[in-house]
Amino acid sequence: MRWGVLLLLACTAAQAQTQTLTVGSKRFTESYILGEILAQTAPPAMHRPGLGNTAILVEALKNGAIDVYPEYTGTISQEILRSDANLSLAQINARLAPLGLAAGFPLGFSNTYALGMRRRDAVARISDLAQRAQLRMGFSHEFLGRRDGWPGLKAAYALPQAPRGLDHGLAYEALAAGELDVIDLYSTDAKIARYGIAVLADDRAYFPAYDAVLLYRAGAPGRFPLAFAAFARLEGRIDAQGMVRMNARAELDQVPFAGVAQEFLGGGRAAPRSFFHALFGPDFWRLTREHLLLVFASLAASIAAGVPLGVAAAKRPRLAQIILGAVGVIQTIPSLALFAFLIALLGTIGTVPALLALILYALLPIVRNTHAGLAGVDAGMHDAARALGLSAPQALWRIELPLALPTILAGIKTSAVINVGTATIAAFIGAGGYGERIATGLALNDNAMLLAGAIPAAALALAVQWGFELGERRFGWRRKALAQAQV
């Protein structure tokens, strides 16, 4: 009996280790690097980089899309647990338990929020900003909305300014160019020293401690015991200066995140990333497969839904305004807002909400062109169909749709090209594709990485358009449609 129990436990542990641990990370340099370190520490873990802000990562943990990601104690206390107190790790875990989450494995450094100015223009303390209402502030969008960010800081220091939102990776260059006077910082940012930025003293101790830890699903250590045993060996190994150096390797030396992680784990010095390597790196075919899946799976579903909706709008005038109005309104919803809504609705991140969003965005050209094509069929053709004794479905299938086919195909082509571009946004919720490189390029303010994502997406859009046009010429869709209509 005892040997049977031991065998069962061994099989359970082995089965747990055959599953793949999924590591997530936020969309800024340090989180990318830490995510790579975790993934390389516990192979064959999978890293889903740049998933977005805190809310998206926590939702991904809750629904099982990821198992662990690097986080900070101040963020957990203030943003996730909505506590005004600076909680200890034990207190954090007591409050995380009902959510099915846990925090631990302190990495050894703290990365607090701060405000910075150009040294020649800087004041000494944050409280001094209250007397400088004319200063132009630019903060990351997450900082603008966080409890421990701008709303609380403004109240604590009675600040009169109205900051604008911009990506954290672009803020330093905007400050250096004189377009902004004050930006938010992470204390381990490598660019603080590079740009000679003065960090303002938090003289009212507004910002809590932000000790780097791992936030994970409560059941993950039991499912991945070897991985979490490896994570335990990372405790206390990264100090603040070490983290600054790693951030500098990625941001200033242009070393890929995976290379920075390899250096930290003793894999030797990694080479800087060239544009050719960025464009045709080892992730190229994976990103291509993901992007093609997003574009063509959503397009197929949009055709299956859009053509019948267009037919219904053409055949039922009372429904036309409702159908065309609905698909038109969907098109006006900002893509990131729609992604966020679908994440909350479906309770998951990644491919599923991305595909659903792309399906909805692709409907308008298909529905409108189907409606317009059918509405443009000459009345004489309807009379001819009735004279031949064709039923309404027969007339639709044999005469009206063939005549409307060129217009319908033009709408499908438009939807396909639009979807190639829109699919890049899906990377911001972990769906992959070429947008993954664009998100990384924004985080690093790396033009080469931005182009490495934008160029393949543009090339794919041109290829899709060229493919449709080639098909029109090769198969003579218009001539076939007219020939069928005359039968």
| Residue 97 tokens, joined | 């338990």
One DSSP character per residue, 415-466 reads: HHHHHHHHGGGGGGGT--STHHHHHHHHHHT-HHHHHHHHHHHHHHHHHHHH
Domain annotation covers residue 204: no
Single out the residue in 227, 243, 272 at which a domain terminates: 272
Q: Is the same domain home to 103 and 122?
A: no
Q: Is the same domain home to 97 and 241?
A: yes
| Residue that the structure tokens 């309807």 belong to | 382
Q: Is the same domain home to 267 and 293?
A: no
Domain annotation covers residue 277: no
Please give the Cα distance from 159 to 144 (Å, whole number): 14
What CATH number is given to the structural domain containing 303? 1.10.3720.10
pLDDT in tens, 401-450: 888 888 899 999 999 999 999 999 888 888 889 999 998 888 777 888 89
Please give the Cα distance from 77 to 295 (Å, whole number): 39
User: In angstroms, what CA-CA distances link 401 with 213, 408, 409?
Assistant: 60, 9, 11
Q: Is the same domain home to 90 and 23?
A: yes
Closest CA to 232 of 70, 108, 105: 105
- Could you tell me if 241 and 223 are in contact, meaning their C-beta atoms sit under 8 angstroms apart? no
Amino acid at 139: F
| Residue 83 tokens, joined | 């506590």
Domain annotation covers residue 117: yes
Residue 131, domain extent: 113-199
| Residue 387 tokens, joined | 């004279």
Please give the Cα distance from 61 to 343 (Å, whole number): 13
First to last CA, the chain: 80
Q: Is the same domain home to 310 and 401?
A: yes
Coil, strand or helix at 181: coil
Closest CA to 251 of 192, 187, 324, 203: 192
Count of structural domains within the chain: 3
CA atoms within 13 A on the CB side of 182: 23
pLDDT of residue 476: 56
Q: Which long-range contacts (CB under 8 A, 24 or more apart) does 464-470 make?
A: 464/295, 464/413, 464/416, 464/417, 464/420, 465/413, 465/416, 465/417, 468/409, 468/412, 468/413, 468/416, 469/413
Domain annotation covers residue 248: yes
Q: Where are the beta strands (DSSP E) in 112-181?
A: 113-118, 137-139, 164-165
pLDDT of residue 457: 95
What CATH number is given to the structural domain containing 161? 3.40.190.120
pLDDT of residue 480: 54
One DSSP character per residue, 83-103 reads: -SS---HHHHHHHHGGGTEEE
| Residue 229 tokens, joined | 């045993």
Domain annotation covers residue 434: yes
Domain annotation covers residue 47: yes
Angle between helices 435-444 and 447-475 (to 10 degrees): 160
What CATH number is given to the structural domain containing 264? 3.40.190.10
Domain annotation covers residue 279: no
Q: Is the same domain home to 475 and 342?
A: yes
Q: Is the same domain home to 84 and 129?
A: no
Per-residue pLDDT of the chain (487 residues; tens, 9 = 90+): 333 333 333 333 333 344 789 999 998 999 999 999 999 999 999 998 888 889 889 988 998 889 999 999 999 999 999 998 889 999 999 999 999 999 999 999 999 999 999 999 999 999 999 999 999 999 998 899 888 899 999 999 999 999 999 988 889 999 999 999 999 999 999 999 888 999 999 999 999 889 999 999 999 999 999 999 999 999 999 999 999 999 999 998 999 999 999 999 998 788 787 888 888 888 899 999 999 999 999 999 999 999 999 999 998 888 888 999 999 999 888 887 888 788 878 877 888 999 999 999 999 999 999 999 988 887 777 767 777 777 777 888 878 888 888 889 999 999 999 999 999 988 888 888 999 999 888 877 788 889 999 999 999 999 999 988 887 776 555 555 555 545 4
Closest CA to 63 of 33, 24, 30: 24
Q: Is the same domain home to 333 and 445?
A: yes
User: In angstroms, what CA-CA distances link 462 with 166, 191, 421, 467?
Assistant: 30, 37, 11, 8
Q: Is the same domain home to 303 and 437?
A: yes
Q: Is the same domain home to 327 and 458?
A: yes
Q: Is the same domain home to 98 and 223?
A: yes
Single out the residue in 272, 302, 319 at which a domain terminates: 272
What pTM did the predictor assign?
A: 0.80
Please give the Cα distance from 369 to 231 (Å, whole number): 55
- Could you tell me if 151 and 82 are in contact, meaning their C-beta atoms sit under 8 angstroms apart? no
47-76 in b/e form (b: 16+ CB < 10 A) is bbbbbbbbbbbbbbbeeebbbbbbbbbbbb
Closest CA to 245 of 30, 24, 26: 30
pLDDT of residue 317: 85
Domain annotation covers residue 278: no
